[in-house]
Amino acid sequence: MPCMEVTLPRLGVEVKRNLARVLTNAYADSTGMDRERIGIRFLEYGEGQAAYAGVLDEGGDGGRPYVHVVLYCPRQTREVKQRIVRRINAGLRDSLDLAGSRPVIHIQEHPYENVGVDGELLSDRFPELADRKFYYPLDRD
């Protein structure tokens, strides 16, 4: 059950709708995960509520927009993580007009025994996956 928290400047609904689709596809295409299992939460900030490189983002005064993605997901191989980071970064750059921003992506991997959904640990729901080194090895890896 991968989840993304995306921190960025306030955006319109249409931009977020497109970004949700792009980021979901970026993760799903990188891992083979079903799109229906991927959640995204947008954390937006207004003018003067974030800084990058010590400069407050106050709109058009030269401050860089702060863009940060935290991805909570099952353990992945290094090659899959490289694909995830490349595709999420490309999706952000293609979908947003954030001149000068340098999106940061943190991957927080968790085994299924550390994730609960609907009151049950995923390792209890899917015990056959609990012993795998990586939960989503792809055939091409």
Which backbone phi and psi does 126 adopt, to 5 degrees?
-125, 70
Confidence of residue 101 (pLDDT cuts 50, 70, 90): confident
- Per-residue pLDDT, averaged over 101-125, amounts to 86
* pLDDT exceeds 60 at position 79: yes
Higher pLDDT, 22 or 133: 22
* pLDDT exceeds 60 at position 45: yes
- The reported pLDDT for the residue numbered 63 is 66
Worst-scoring range by mean pLDDT, 5-9, 57-61, 71-75, 108-112?
A: 57-61
Domains of the chain: 3-129 (3.30.429.10)
Strands 55-56 and 51-52: antiparallel
Query: How much is the pTM?
Result: 0.84
* pLDDT exceeds 90 at position 121: no
- Per-residue pLDDT, averaged over 100-113, amounts to 87
Strands 68-73 and 104-109: parallel
The per-residue pLDDT of the chain, averaged, comes to 85
Question: Which residues make Cβ contacts (< 8 Å) with residue 19, sequence separation at least 6?
Answer: 6, 11, 42, 91, 92, 95, 96
- Per-residue pLDDT, averaged over 74-86, amounts to 92
Tokens of 102: 């340098």
- The reported pLDDT for the residue numbered 68 is 94
* pLDDT exceeds 70 at position 35: yes
